[in-house]
C-alpha cells in the first residue's frame, strides 16, 4: 500500500466508547497535546448522564470530539474525519457523524456476536448495516494487542484492559503525527505520587499502539496539521469553560480586594466550577458545599452582607430553587454572582447536554418586579472574562448578576492566550469609609445620583450599623408600606440595573453595517454562527452578524444597529426566548427565528442552510 | 472600650408585637445579655449581627441597634452561616420561630448544627404559626386544634432538643419566656460557647395559642413541673427542692428525697460538658406527667467550629502552595509560548 503524508488545514476526530472506556480522558489528552503542539482547537465532550450505563449498549456510549487546525478553529466541527469506536455500540451511535471520506478505527475484538447483539445490530456486517462501508475502515485488534503488550507486566487483567485507551491514543498519535512527550509528562504527573508503577505500562501501551500503526500498513494515509502561524505572541494554555469561570472569579477577587466565597451545591454540568475553586483555598477562596441549592445562595447572600465577593454556581434546576433568594439579593441590593451552566430542560431534562433554555428564567423567574443583569460567555476561554465582568458589575453596581454559561462551554476547551491582568479594568466596590458624624445615621438605600448605586457598609465597621431584609424599605432603611415609596424603590432598582448599560461594551457588526439580513446570536453559539457567517461570506453572500454577550441591559447601540437591517434572524438553542425578548424591547423591527432544542450545539451546515433562506 | 448597656442595643423603632407576646421578654433578655457578653469577651458593638427568617419573632433584628438581616422564610440559618464564614470576627445571633427553623428551614438548621457553625440561635417555640394567623407548626402537640387542624393534628411534633442533639449539637439550652434571669444566664452561656448554640425559648402567643406553655410557666406549678439544670449541680426541683432525678432501669426517674430510701447522694449531678449524648437526650426529652421539663443549659461541649477549621485550612494550604497570586495560577501547569 502506498503510504502518503497529507498536509491538512484541519481535522475533526471523534473518540467514542463505553462510558467506562476512558474516552473523555483520551480525547482531552489528544486535545491538550495538540494545544501544546500549537494547533488551534475546540472540543466537545458528549457523554451520557449515567456514570456507568449498561456495558456495550448504545445508551452507554461516551464521546469526545476534537477539532484541530492550523488556522482559526471556531467549533468542534459538525462531522468527523476520523471516528474511533471502541465497540459496536460506539460505532452505531456515531456513524452518522462521519464525513464521506472519513476514517473509522474500531477495536476488532469488541465486534464479536455478543457485542454486536448488545448494540442492536441485526446483520453480520455493521458497516453495511449503517451504510458506512465505503469509508476507510481500520479494524485493529486493540484489546488483544493491549493484552499482548502488557503480558509480562504482572498486572491483573482488569488493569490491563483499562490501558486500551492508551493503545488507541497511540494509533491516533501516529495517524496525526503527534509527538508523544506531552502524554508522557501527563502520565508521570498523574501517577507519580500514588501509583508510580502505572507509568511504565501506560507508556509502553501508548508506544506499542503508535508502532503497531506504523508497522501494520493498514493505515493508508497519515496527516500533519501545522501549528498556527499567525497566532498572537504570548503564553498559551488549554482551558475549559468551567475552569475559566473559576479562575475569572479568583481574578476578580484579587483585583477587587474582596475575599471570594462560593456557596454551591453539586449539579451537572456546573460542579467542576465548585471543584476548581475548592482546590484554590491557597488563594484564600472559601468554598462551602451547601446542603441544598437554597442554602448555597443564602450562605452566599450572608457572605455578601459580610463583605465577601459572593458567588453561587448552578444549573437550570438549581436556579429554579434559588429564585426566592434571588429576590432577596435584589431587595437587599447586595453584590452576588450566580453562574448558571445551562443544560437541557425542563426538570431534570438532559443533564449532560447543552441548551440555552434558561434565558427566560434568568430574566424573569422571580416574584415581584425583580430585574437582574444577565450576561453570557461566547467560548470556553471567554468564560474567564465573562466571570470577571459579572463580578465587576455585581460589586460596582450592588446587584446580583446572572452569568449564563452552557454545558457546551463548561465542558468544552480551547487554547487561551493568557491575559495580562494589569490590562483588565479595576473593580472598585462602593464601600463606605471612615466614621459617620456624631448623631448621623447610615442610610443603606441612599443612592449615588449618577448610577443609583447604594453604598456598602460591612458589619464590623464602627457606627455604620443598619438592617437589611426582604421587606420593602425607604432610603433610610426603615420598613415602609407607603405606596409611593414602594413605587419609587421599584423604579430605582430597575433604573440602577438599566444604567449598567453605560459600562456594557457596544455591539459590533461583522460584515456590512447595513443591509438585508443581520444574523444574531448570544452565548455559546458564537463559534458555530461565526463559522456559518464566514462560510457564507466566502461563498459570496452578503450577510452581517452580531453576537450578544450582554442581555440585560442590552448594549446601548442595539436599536441603532437593528435599524440598519431589513430583517434580524435570531439563532438560538431554545424555542426563541431571546428573539421574544428582543421583540418586547424593539417591537418596530422584524425578527425571525432559527431554533434548535435537541440538547446538541448547532451544526454549521444547518446554520448556513437556515441563513440562506433569508438571503 | 466604653462599657455597653442594654440601651446601646435598642433603637428608635416601634416594637410591633402584640401586647402580652412572649417575644417582648426575649428581646429584653437579648438586649441585656449583649453588654455582658461584650464585657466578658471584649466585643465591640459593631461586631454583633442579628439575623432572622420570617415570622413574628423574625422581626427582632429591626428592634436591635446592631447590624441586622431579616431574610426569607426558613433561611436564617443559611444566611448566618455565610456571614460567620465570611467574617469569623463577627458574633452572629439568630432569631427564628418553630415553623421557620424546623419546618421550611429544617434542613439548614440540622446542617448548621452538624457543621458546628459558631452562631447563637434563639429558637422561639410557641407551637403555632402566628404571623399567618394560627396554623399548626412542627412543634404543635399531637391533636392540637388550629385553623388548619380543626379536628386536631394527626402528626407527632418535633422536640427541638432531640433534633439538636441528634445532629450532634454542641450546645442546647431551654427556658421560658417569662424567666428573665434564667434567659440572660443561658443566653450568656450560649454566646460564650464556640459553635452552634441553640436556645429554645418556650414563648407564648397571646392571640393564636394563648397559654401554650402555661402548664409549665404558671407560678403555681412551675417549680414542680420544670427543673433548672446547672453544670456541676444536683438535679433538684420542686418548691422545697426536695425532688430530684435518678437513673432507673434504662431511663430517668423523679424521686422525692427521704421517700423510698432515696437520699441526696442518689440524685444525679448535671454534667453539661460530657460528650455522652445519651444522658443529654434523656434530659431534653423529659416531659410530664412523671418527669419535669428540663430548663437551663442541657449540653455545652467543646468541639472545633466550622469557621475555625476553614480559617486553618485556608492558612495551611496557602502556606504549602507555590501559587500565591492569580498570575501564578494562570501560568501554572502546562503552558506554551508563541514567539
Q: In angstroms, what separates the C-alpha of B50 from chain A's closest C-alpha?
A: 9
Residue span of the structural domain in which B103 resides: 6-217
- A502 has pLDDT over 80: yes
Q: In angstroms, what separates the C-alpha of B75 from chain A's closest C-alpha?
A: 7
Disruptive mutation site among A469, A471, A474, A477 for chain B (greatest number of B CBs within 10 Å):
A469
Are the Cβ atoms of B323 and A283 closer than 8 angstroms?
yes
Disruptive mutation site among B11, B68, B79 for chain A (greatest number of A CBs within 10 Å):
B79
- A408 has pLDDT over 70: yes
Are the Cβ atoms of B61 and A467 closer than 8 angstroms?
yes
| ipTM for the whole complex | 0.97
Nearest CA in chain A to B327: A421
Find all residues with CB under 8 Å of B285, minimum gap 6, and list them: B159, B161, B162
How far apart (Å, rounded) are the C-alpha atoms in residues A158 and A177? 30
Are the Cβ atoms of B324 and A303 closer than 8 angstroms?
no
CB pairs under 8 A between A and B: 201
Are the Cβ atoms of B61 and A300 closer than 8 angstroms?
no
> What are the structural domains, with CATH classification, of chain A?
4-224 (3.40.920.10), 234-502 (3.40.50.970), 515-612 (3.40.50.920)
SS3 at position A340: strand
Disruptive mutation site among B82, B105, B339 for chain A (greatest number of A CBs within 10 Å):
B82
A contacts of B334 (beta carbons < 8 Å): 32, 36, 182, 185, 237-238
Q: Is residue B31 part of a domain?
A: yes
Are the Cβ atoms of A288 and B80 closer than 8 angstroms?
no
* Average pLDDT for A285-313: 98
| pLDDT tens sequence across A231-244 | 788 999 999 999 99
Q: Is residue B286 part of a domain?
A: no
- A182 has pLDDT over 90: no
For chain A, the C-alpha Rg in angstroms (whole number) is 27
Q: Is residue B331 part of a domain?
A: no
Are the Cβ atoms of B13 and A478 closer than 8 angstroms?
yes
A contacts of B323 (beta carbons < 8 Å): 280, 282-283
| pLDDT tens sequence across A581-602 | 999 999 999 999 999 999 999 9
Strand A61-69, strand A10-18: pairing: antiparallel
How far apart (Å, rounded) are the C-alpha atoms in residues B97 and A296? 22
| pLDDT tens sequence across B134-154 | 999 999 999 999 999 999 999
Helix axes A271-279, A241-256, angle to 10 degrees: 50
Find all residues with CB under 8 Å of B311, minimum gap 6, and list them: B88
B contacts of A35 (beta carbons < 8 Å): 336
A contacts of B47 (beta carbons < 8 Å): 459-460
Q: Is residue B202 part of a domain?
A: yes
Number of domains in chain B: 1
Disruptive mutation site among A264, A291, A381, A427 for chain B (greatest number of B CBs within 10 Å):
A291
* Average pLDDT for A343-366: 97
pLDDT of residue A54: 82
Are the Cβ atoms of A306 and B90 closer than 8 angstroms?
yes
| pLDDT tens sequence across B159-199 | 999 999 999 999 999 999 999 999 999 999 999 999 999 99
Identify which of B314, B325, B334 has the shortest CB distance to residue A254.
B325
Identify which of B64, B82, B335 has the shortest CB distance to residue A235.
B335
Are the Cβ atoms of B85 and A286 closer than 8 angstroms?
yes
How far apart (Å, rounded) are the C-alpha atoms in residues A2 and A211? 18
Dihedral of CA atoms A390, A391, A397, A403 in degrees, nearest 10, equals 30
Q: Quick one: A185 exposed, middle or buried, by C-beta within 10 A (0-12, 13-18, 19+)?
A: middle
How far apart (Å, rounded) are the C-alpha atoms in residues B238 and B2? 42
B contacts of A332 (beta carbons < 8 Å): 69
Mean pLDDT of chain A: 94
Q: In angstroms, what separates the C-alpha of A391 from chain B's closest C-alpha?
A: 15
Q: Rounded to 5 degrees, what are φ and ψ at A413?
A: -140, 160
DSSP per position, A543-575 = -EEEEESEEESPPTTHHHHHTTEEEEEEEESSS
- Residue B191, all three cell numbers: 454566646
A contacts of B337 (beta carbons < 8 Å): 234-236
Q: Is residue B90 part of a domain?
A: yes
SS3 at position A263: strand
pLDDT of residue B22: 93
Are the Cβ atoms of B65 and A263 closer than 8 angstroms?
no
* Average pLDDT for A475-498: 97
Name the residue with higher pLDDT: A182 or A502. A502
Answer yes or no: are the C-beta atoms of B300 and B193 closer than 8 Å: yes
Q: How many residues does chain B have?
A: 339
A contacts of B339 (beta carbons < 8 Å): 233
Are the Cβ atoms of A328 and B327 closer than 8 angstroms?
no
Find all residues with CB under 8 Å of B317, minimum gap 6, and list them: A281, A282
A contacts of B51 (beta carbons < 8 Å): 302
Element (H, E) at A65: strand A61-69
- What is the pLDDT confidence band of residue A221, given thresholds at 50, 70 and 90? confident
The closest alpha carbon to A286, from A269, A306, A267, belongs to: A306
* Average pLDDT for B27-51: 96
Identify which of A254, A282, A469 has the shortest CB distance to residue B71.
A469
User: What is the 3-class SS of chain B, one letter each residue?
Assistant: CCCCCHHHHECCCCCCCCCCCCHHHHHHHHHHHHHHHHHHHCCCHHHEEEEECCCCHHHHHHHECCEEEECCCCCHHHHHHHHHHHCCCCEEEEEEEHHHHHHHCHHHHHHHHHHCCCEEEEEEECCCECCCCCECCCCCCCCCCECCECCCCCCCCCCHHHHHHHCCCCEEEEEECCCHHHHHHHHHHHHHCCCCEEEEEECCECCCECCCCHHHHCCCCHHHHEEEECCCCECEECCCCCEEEEEECCEEEEEECCCCCCCHHHCCECCCCCCCHHHHHHHHCCCCCCCCEEEEEEEECCCCCHHHHHHHHHHHHHHHCCCCCHHHHHCCCCCEEEC
How far apart (Å, rounded) are the C-alpha atoms in residues B33 and B183? 9
Q: In angstroms, what separates the C-alpha of B333 from chain A's closest C-alpha?
A: 9
B contacts of A458 (beta carbons < 8 Å): 87
How far apart (Å, rounded) are the C-alpha atoms in residues B258 and A373? 74
pLDDT of residue A576: 98
pLDDT of residue A247: 98
Nearest CA in chain B to A463: B46
pLDDT of residue A231: 74
Answer yes or no: are the C-beta atoms of A102 and A175 closer than 8 Å: no
- What is the pLDDT confidence band of residue A2, given thresholds at 50, 70 and 90? low
- Residue B82, all three cell numbers: 455565610
Are the Cβ atoms of A283 and B326 closer than 8 angstroms?
yes
* Average pLDDT for A363-389: 98
A contacts of B82 (beta carbons < 8 Å): 261, 263, 288, 298-306, 310
Q: How far is CA A552 from the centre of its chain?
A: 20
The closest alpha carbon to A582, from A554, A556, A604, belongs to: A554
Q: In angstroms, what separates the C-alpha of A300 from chain B's closest C-alpha?
A: 6
Give the C-alpha distances (Å, rounded to integers) separating A445 from A327, A461, A476, B170.
16, 17, 6, 39
SS3 at position A434: coil
Are the Cβ atoms of B323 and A421 closer than 8 angstroms?
no
How far apart (Å, rounded) are the C-alpha atoms in residues A311 and A89? 41
Identify which of B72, B314, B335 has the shortest CB distance to residue A237.
B335
A contacts of B45 (beta carbons < 8 Å): 462, 465
Answer yes or no: are the C-beta atoms of B45 and B4 closer than 8 Å: yes
Q: In angstroms, what separates the C-alpha of B147 from chain A's closest C-alpha?
A: 26
Q: Is residue B41 part of a domain?
A: yes
pLDDT of residue A442: 96
Q: What CATH number does the domain containing B185 carry? A: 3.40.50.970
| pLDDT tens sequence across B198-229 | 999 999 999 999 999 999 999 999 999 999 99
Q: Rounded to 5 degrees, what are φ and ψ at B313?
A: -65, -40
User: Which of A21-30, A463-472, B96-105, B183-192 is the least confident region?
Assistant: A21-30
| pLDDT tens sequence across A39-97 | 999 999 888 777 777 888 998 899 999 999 998 899 999 999 999 999 999 999 999 99
Are the Cβ atoms of A459 and B331 closer than 8 angstroms?
no
Find all residues with CB under 8 Å of A537, minimum gap 6, and list them: A511, A543
Q: Rounded to 5 degrees, what are φ and ψ at A351?
A: -60, -30
Are the Cβ atoms of B82 and A470 closer than 8 angstroms?
no
pLDDT of residue A183: 86
CA atoms within 13 Å, Cβ hemisphere of A439: 0
Q: Is residue B222 part of a domain?
A: no
For chain B, the C-alpha Rg in angstroms (whole number) is 22
Answer yes or no: are the C-beta atoms of B121 and B101 closer than 8 Å: yes
CB atoms within 10 A of CB A375: 24
Q: In angstroms, what separates the C-alpha of A152 from chain B's closest C-alpha?
A: 33
Amino acid at each position: 500500500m502506498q503510504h502518503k503524508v497529507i498536509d491538512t488545514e484541519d481535522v475533526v476526530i471523534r473518540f467514542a466508547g463505553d462510558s467506562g472506556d476512558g474516552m473523555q480522558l483520551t480525547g482531552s489528552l489528544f486535545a491538550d497535546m495538540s494545544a501544546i503542539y500549537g494547533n488551534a482547537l475546540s472540543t466537545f465532550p458528549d457523554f451520557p448522564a449515567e456514570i456507568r450505563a449498561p456495558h456495550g449498549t448504545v445508551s452507554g456510549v461516551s464521546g469526545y470530539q476534537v477539532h484541530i487546525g492550523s488556522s482559526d478553529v471556531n467549533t468542534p466541527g459538525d462531522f468527523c474525519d476520523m471516528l474511533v469506536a471502541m465497540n459496536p455500540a460506539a460505532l452505531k451511535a456515531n456513524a452518522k457523524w462521519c464525513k464521506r471520506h472519513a476514517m473509522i478505527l474500531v477495536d476488532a475484538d469488541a465486534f464479536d456476536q455478543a457485542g454486536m447483539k448488545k448494540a442492536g445490530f441485526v446483520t453480520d456486517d455493521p458497516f453495511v448495516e449503517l451504510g458506512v462501508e465505503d469509508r476507510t475502515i481500520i479494524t485493529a485488534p486493540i484489546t488483544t494487542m493491549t493484552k499482548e503488550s502488557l503480558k509480562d507486566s504482572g498486572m491483573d487483567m482488569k488493569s490491563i484492559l483499562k490501558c486500551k485507551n492508551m493503545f488507541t491514543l497511540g494509533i491516533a498519535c501516529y495517524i496525526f503525527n503527534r509527538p508523544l512527550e506531552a502524554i508522557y509528562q501527563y502520565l508521570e504527573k498523574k501517577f507519580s505520587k500514588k501509583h508510580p508503577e502505572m507509568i511504565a505500562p501506560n507508556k509502553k501501551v501508548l508506544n506499542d499502539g503508535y508502532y503497531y500503526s506504523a508497522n501494520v500498513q493498514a493505515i493508508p494515509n497519515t496527516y500533519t496539521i501545522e501549528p498556527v502561524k499567525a497566532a498572537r505572541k504570548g503564553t498559551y494554555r488549554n482551558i475549559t469553560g468551567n475552569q475559566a469561570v473559576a479562575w475569572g472569579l479568583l481574578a476578580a477577587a484579587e483585583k477587587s480586594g474582596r475575599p471570594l466565597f462560593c456557596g454551591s451545591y453539586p449539579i451537572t454540568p456546573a460542579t467542576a466550577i465548585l471543584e476548581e475553586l475548592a482546590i484554590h483555598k491557597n488563594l484564600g477562596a472559601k468554598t462551602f458545599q451547601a446542603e441544598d441549592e437554597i442554602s448555597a445562595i443564602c450562605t452566599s447572600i450572608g457572605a455578601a452582607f459580610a463583605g465577601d465577593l459572593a458567588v453561587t454556581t448552578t444549573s437550570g434546576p438549581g436556579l429554579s430553587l434559588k429564585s426566592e433568594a434571588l429576590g432577596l439579593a435584589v431587595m437587599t441590593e447586595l453584590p452576588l454572582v450566580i453562574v448558571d451552566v445551562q443544560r437541557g430542560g425542563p426538570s431534570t431534562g438532559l443533564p449532560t447536554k447543552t441548551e440555552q433554555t434558561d434565558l427566560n428564567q434568568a430574566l424573569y423567574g422571580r416574584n415581584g418586579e425583580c430585574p437582574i443583569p444577565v450576561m453570557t460567555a461566547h467560548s470556553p476561554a471567554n468564560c474567564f472574562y465573562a466571570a470577571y465582568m459579572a463580578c465587576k458589575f455585581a460589586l460596582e453596581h450592588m446587584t446580583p448578576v446572572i452569568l449564563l454559561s452552557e454545558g457546551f462551554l463548561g465542558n468544552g476547551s480551547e487554547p487561551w492566550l493568557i491575559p495580562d491582568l494589569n490590562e483588565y479594568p479595576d473593580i472598585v466596590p462602593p464601600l463606605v469609609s471612615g466614621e459617620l458624624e456624631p448623631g448621623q445615621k447610615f442610610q443603606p438605600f441612599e443612592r449615588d445620583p449618577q448610577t443609583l448605586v447604594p453604598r456598602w457598609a460591612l458589619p464590623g465597621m464602627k457606627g455604620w450599623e443598619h438592617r437589611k431584609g426582604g421587606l420593602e424599605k425607604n432610603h433610610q432603611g426603615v420598613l415602609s408600606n407607603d405606596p409611593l415609596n414602594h413605587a419609587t424603590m421599584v423604579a430605582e432598582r430597575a433604573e440602577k440595573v438599566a444604567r449598567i448599560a453605560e459600562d456594557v461594551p457596544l455591539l459590533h457588526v461583522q460584515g456590512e453595517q447595513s443591509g438585508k439580513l443581520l444574523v444574531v446570536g448570544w452565548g455559546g453559539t458564537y463559534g458555530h454562527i461565526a463559522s456559518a457567517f464566514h462560510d457564507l461570506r466566502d461563498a459570496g453572500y452578503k450577510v452581517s452578524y452580531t453576537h450578544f454577550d450582554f442581555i440585560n441591559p442590552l448594549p446601548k447601540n442595539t436599536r441603532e444597529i437593528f435599524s440598519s437591517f431589513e430583517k434580524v434572524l435570531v439563532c438560538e438553542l431554545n424555542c426563541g426566548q431571546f428573539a421574544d425578548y428582543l421583540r418586547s424591547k424593539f417591537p418596530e423591527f422584524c425578527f425571525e427565528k432559527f431554533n434548535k432544542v435537541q440538547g446538541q450545539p448547532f451544526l454549521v451546515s444547518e446554520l448556513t442552510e437556515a441563513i440562506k433562506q433569508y438571503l | 472600650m466604653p462599657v455597653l448597656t442594654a440601651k446601646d442595643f435598642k433603637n428608635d423603632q416601634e416594637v410591633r408585637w402584640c401586647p402580652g407576646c412572649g417575644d417582648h421578654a426575649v428581646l429584653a433578655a437579648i438586649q441585656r445579655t449583649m453588654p455582658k457578653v461584650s464585657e466578658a469577651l471584649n466585643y465591640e458593638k459593631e461586631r454583633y449581627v442579628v439575623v432572622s427568617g420570617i415570622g413574628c419573632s423574625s422581626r427582632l433584628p429591626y428592634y436591635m441597634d446592631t447590624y441586622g438581616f431579616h431574610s426569607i422564610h426558613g433561611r436564617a440559618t443559611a444566611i448566618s452561616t455565610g456571614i460567620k464564614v465570611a467574617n469569623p470576627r463577627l458574633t452572629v445571633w439568630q432569631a427564628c420561630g418553630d415553623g421557620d427553623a424546623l419546618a421550611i428551614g429544617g434542613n439548614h438548621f440540622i446542617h448548621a448544627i452538624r457543621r458546628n457553625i459558631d452562631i447563637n440561635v434563639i429558637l422561639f417555640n410557641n407551637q403555632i404559626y402566628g404571623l399567618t394567623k394560627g396554623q399548626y407548626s412542627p412543634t404543635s402537640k399531637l391533636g392540637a386544634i388550629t385553623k388548619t387542624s380543626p379536628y386536631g393534628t394527626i402528626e407527632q411534633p418535633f422536640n427541638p432538643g432531640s433534633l439538636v442533639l441528634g445532629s450532634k449539637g454542641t450546645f442546647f439550652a431551654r427556658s421560658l419566656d417569662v424567666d428573665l434571669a434564667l434567659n440572660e444566664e443561658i443566653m450568656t452561656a450560649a454566646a460564650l460557647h464556640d459553635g452552634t448554640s441553640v436556645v429554645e425559648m418556650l414563648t407564648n402567643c397571646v392571640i393564636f395559642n394563648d397559654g401554650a406553655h402555661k402548664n409549665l410557666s404558671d407560678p403555681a406549678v412551675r417549680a414542680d413541673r420544670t427543673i433548672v439544670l446547672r453544670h456541676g449541680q444536683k438535679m433538684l426541683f420542686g418548691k422545697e427542692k426536695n425532688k430530684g432525678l435518678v437513673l432507673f432501669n434504662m431511663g430517668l426517674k423523679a424521686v422525692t428525697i427521704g421517700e423510698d430510701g432515696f437520699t441526696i447522694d442518689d440524685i444525679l449531678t448535671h454534667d453539661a460538658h460530657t460528650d455522652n449524648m445519651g444522658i443529654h437526650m434523656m434530659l431534653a426529652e423529659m416531659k410530664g406527667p412523671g418527669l419535669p421539663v428540663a430548663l437551663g443549659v442541657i449540653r455545652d461541649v467543646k468541639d472545633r467550629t466550622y469557621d475555625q477549621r476553614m480559617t486553618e485550612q485556608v492558612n495551611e494550604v496557602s502556606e504549602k502552595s507555590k501559587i500565591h497570586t492569580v498570575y501564578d495560577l494562570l501560568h501554572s501547569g502546562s503552558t506554551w509560548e508563541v514567539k
